[in-house]
Amino acid sequence: MPYRRTQFFEGGYYHLYNRGNNHQDIFFERENYLYFLRQLRKYLKADVVEVVAYCLMPNHYHLMIFLKGEGLAKLMQPFLLSYTKAINERYNRVGSLFQGRFKAIRVDKEEYLLQLSRYIHLNPVAAGLVKRSENWEFSSYRDFIGSRNGTLAKPDIVLSYFQSRDEYRKFVESSVDQKPIEHLLVD
């Protein structure tokens, strides 16, 4: 297995993501999204991983997490394998669902943390799935703006940079001014 360039450090924020093998869908119906979220809760133990933000798209997912303990890779492997096995069984398919193992980027700048949360929440809008981020059920955006009281995402760290949830909403919706997040990545 190839060496992972990103090292995981307790107390760090990370952007985890992956897409379907050959760019194919990984979610086929509403229940698949809900099952993925249930498995995420089951496998990514709260004493090790805190989910800050997320967005599930038809052919990929984004998670922004805070690492509270060790063993992230050992938790992600059975989590994603359990999801793959369930999808393969339900849709009578075989083989890999995801394009290799999950990708990870360390979020080591305050600006990157904020821009990444916006990027994650705007993903369904950018893909043309909805006109407004709050209309996409399978992201943490509704939790951030206060229209849903979910218990998976912990938006407090991101929201602490804003005076109100409405200010965060304006930040996300001001996508005209959004800088691409690529300039914030560290080699």
Tens of pLDDT along 88-104? 999 999 999 999 889 99
Burial (0-12, 13-18, 19+ Cβ within 10 Å), 122: buried
The answer to the question of residue 185 being in a domain is no
- Structural domain total, the chain: 1
In a domain, 121, yes or no: yes
Residue 79 lies in a domain: yes
Range of the domain at 81: 13-179
- Assign residue 114 the CATH number of its domain: 3.30.70.1290
Which of these, 1, 13, 18, 4, lies nearest to 111 by C-alpha position?
13
Does 8 reside within a domain?
no
Considering the domain boundaries, does residue 184 fall inside one?
no
Q: What band does 68 get if pLDDT is binned at 50, 70 and 90?
A: very high
Is 18 a member of any domain? yes
Q: How confident is the model at residue 176 (pLDDT cuts 50, 70, 90)?
A: very low
**pLDDT per position as a tens digit, 25-58:** 999 999 999 999 999 999 998 889 999 999 999 9
Q: How confident is the model at residue 184 (pLDDT cuts 50, 70, 90)?
A: very low
Average pLDDT over residues 135-151: 95
Q: Do the Cβ atoms of 154 and 66 come closer than 8 Å?
A: yes
187 within a domain of the structure (yes/no): no
Task: Using pLDDT thresholds of 50, 70 and 90, give the confidence band for residue 177.
Answer: very low
3 located within any domain: no
